[in-house]
A and B are shown apart, each in its own frame.
Chain A
Amino acid sequence: MSDQGMLAREETARYARHLTLPEVGTEGQVKLKSASVLVVGTGGLGSPVALYLAAAGVGRLGIIDFDRVEYSNLQRQIIHGSEDVGRPKVESAAESIGNVNPLIQIDRHDEAFTSANAMRIAADYDIVIDGTDNFATRYLVNDVCVLLGKPNCYGSIFRFEGQASVFGLPGGPCYRCLYPKPPDPGTIPNCAEGGVLGILPGIVGTLQATEAIKLILGIGESLSGRLLLLDALEMKFRELKVRRDPTCPLCGDAPTITAPIDYDQFCGTPKQDAAQSPWDIEPTELKRRLEAGQPLTILDVRKQHEYDICNLGGTLIPLDELPTRLDELDRTRPIVVHCKLGMRSAKAVQILRDAGFPDVSNLNGGIIRWSKQIDPTVETY
């Protein structure tokens, strides 16, 4: 072995249980020490992934996240603590990782993972872990991994369900082979809307970390070519076969995707300033109307539990109850409808307009944009 082969005494003590395992041993531990892994997202999945990879002695861990810690993260994002609320996630995560294992190197990328920087950032690592929380970034991670020839340890969660696999290994499938196109926005709710069992990312994230460790050590059977499905309510794992699609535009025999694309466009992600309804109003306009004392009804079409987190003092009628509760609203007053991000309220505006309400508008970007642009004291989630 090279000089790298030498483990310091504090390392042999720390990794004793690995060194005892014939499948790891000193040689394997040195492989871990020489390895580098990029964890994209330090949320529910990224938390256990980063902590376990650090504890296992992966020599260099990159963490990338643009977000800050919020109270609603703490139910599952165990790398962050209560006193970290408001801090950049990367900073908070790096501190926790350093506590677990001060012997490894941590690269902090306090920024979003985008088409503009992803190739450059990921190129510097052996393995990438997909711990993101939206389709656009998942396709970005997948594409970058295939383009750079890096394994992508994939995991995804929703409510009580999880998925895990390894994409981008030679001869194996990629995420696009399994899901050629993302759902239309709004068809599959995200965790913020649909909820998620806090423990679930702990299970799925540790599966991802296990796959990364196996790849580094070169042991066992990779999940490449298999999709592991978890239903935590039944506590049932199912294993499905996933084959590389020869017609895949990314990893197929005649690929057409040769560089990262515009993923917001690909996924139809609503841009914050993009129109959501023909009857949009800007947060600044609502503020002006309220300050001018104009009579209006604020209608909140989110769920009760969302209302309990934050609200604008509006009338609460959840979108799915709206069609049967129209008579609770005063048709003679202007109505401004909002939800979390503006998609549900856009539907509500259409329902009200169709029912003959004459003056109904949609608060573009929802209460989240309101919080960002007008009133930061409104809690976000």
Chain B
Amino acid sequence: MKVIIPTALRKHTDGQNHLSITATTVQDALEQVVTAHPQLRSSLFDDRNQLVSYVNVFVNDRNIRDLENEATPLRETDEILLVPAIAGG
């Protein structure tokens, strides 16, 4: 499955706009992503290892807050999007 990396976070993934992984839950997917790219961790998790509230995680078109948060199960065809707040205008 694909994890889509937004522009604002690509500096932590050597410019890659998506990562391909195999995971069973969102938690598992995010762990794999920050393990592969440790610099991403501080952009996604706070000091208490909670997901920061200014980056939304979507599975396909659904916010994981409206699903089962990090326990949300994944299928191979799912697309995971990291959507940080942006403010430019």
B32 to chain A, nearest CB (A): 22
Known A-B contacts A189-B8, A240-B61; A181 and B87 likewise in contact (beta carbons under 8 Å)? no
Nearest B residue (CB) for A183: B54
> What would 19 A/B residue contacts be, using CB atoms closer than 8 Å?
A44-B88, A44-B89, A135-B85, A156-B85, A156-B87, A157-B88, A157-B89, A161-B7, A161-B8, A178-B56, A181-B53, A187-B54, A188-B84, A189-B8, A238-B81, A240-B83, A241-B62, A243-B63, A243-B66
Inter-subunit contact B62/A158 (CB<8 Å): no
Contact status of A188 and B89, CB under 8 A, knowing A158-B7, A160-B7, A181-B53 = no
Name the residue on B nearest A243 (C-beta): B66
* A contact residues around B17 at 8 Å (CB): 231, 233-234
In the complex, residue of chain B having the shortest beta-carbon distance to the beta carbon of A179: B85
Are A159 and B8 neighbours in the complex by a CB distance under 8 Å? yes
Contact B89 A41 (CB under 8 A): yes
- Give the interface centre of B52, B62, B89 by most chain A CB atoms within 10 Å: B89
Q: Is the CB of B83 within 8 A of A188?
A: no
- In the assembled complex, B43 has its CB within 8 A of some CB on chain A: yes
Whether A135 pairs with B89 at a CB distance below 8 angstroms is no
A residues with a Cβ closer than 8 A to B are 41, 43-46, 130-135, 138, 155-161, 163, 178-183, 187-191, 194, 196, 201, 227, 229, 231, 233-234, 238-243, 245
Question: In the complex the two chains form, is B88's CB within 8 Å of A183's CB?
Answer: no
Interface residues of B (CB under 8 A from A): 6-8, 17, 43, 52-54, 56, 58, 61-63, 65-66, 81, 83-89
| B81 engages A158 (CB within 8 Å) | no
Q: Which of B43, B58, B88 contacts A196 (CB 8 A)?
A: B88
Give the nearest-CB partner of B10 in chain A.
A159
Using Cβ atoms and an 8 Å threshold, which residues of chain A touch B52? 183
Q: Enumerate chain B residues within 8 angstroms of A194, measured Cβ to Cβ.
A: 8, 88
Task: Tell me the interface secondary structure of chain B in the complex.
Answer: mixed
- What total count of A-B pairs have CB within 8 Å? 95
Q: Which residues of the partner chain A approach B7 to less than 8 Å between Cβ atoms?
A: 158-161, 231
Q: Given the complex of chains A and B, what is the CA–CA distance between A239 and B81 in angstroms?
A: 11
With known contacts A179-B53, A240-B58, A243-B66, A190–B88 Cβ distance under 8 A: yes
Q: Are A158 and B88 in contact (CB under 8 A)?
A: yes
Q: How far is the CA of A133 from the CA of B87 in the complex (A)?
A: 5
Q: What B residues does A163 contact at CB under 8 A?
A: 83, 86
Distance of A234 Cα from B88 Cα, bound (Å): 20
The smallest beta-carbon distance between A228 and chain B, in angstroms, is: 11
Do residues A155 and B62 form an inter-chain contact, with CB atoms below 8 A?
no
Q: Which listed residue, B43, B56, B66, touches A187 by the CB 8 Å rule?
A: B43
CA distance A227 to B63 in the complex (A): 11
Alpha-carbon separation in the docked complex, A194 to B63 (Å): 26
CA of A233 to CA of B52 in the docked complex: distance in angstroms?
A: 26
Q: B87 to A134, Cβ gap below 8 A? A: yes
How far, in whole Å, are A241 and B56 apart by their CA atoms in the complex?
12
- Chain B nearest Cβ from A296, distance in angstroms: 32
Q: Which chain B residues lie closer than 8 Å to A190 at the CB level?
A: 87-88
A168 to chain B, nearest CB (A): 17
| Chain A, Cβ-Cβ closest to B6 | A161
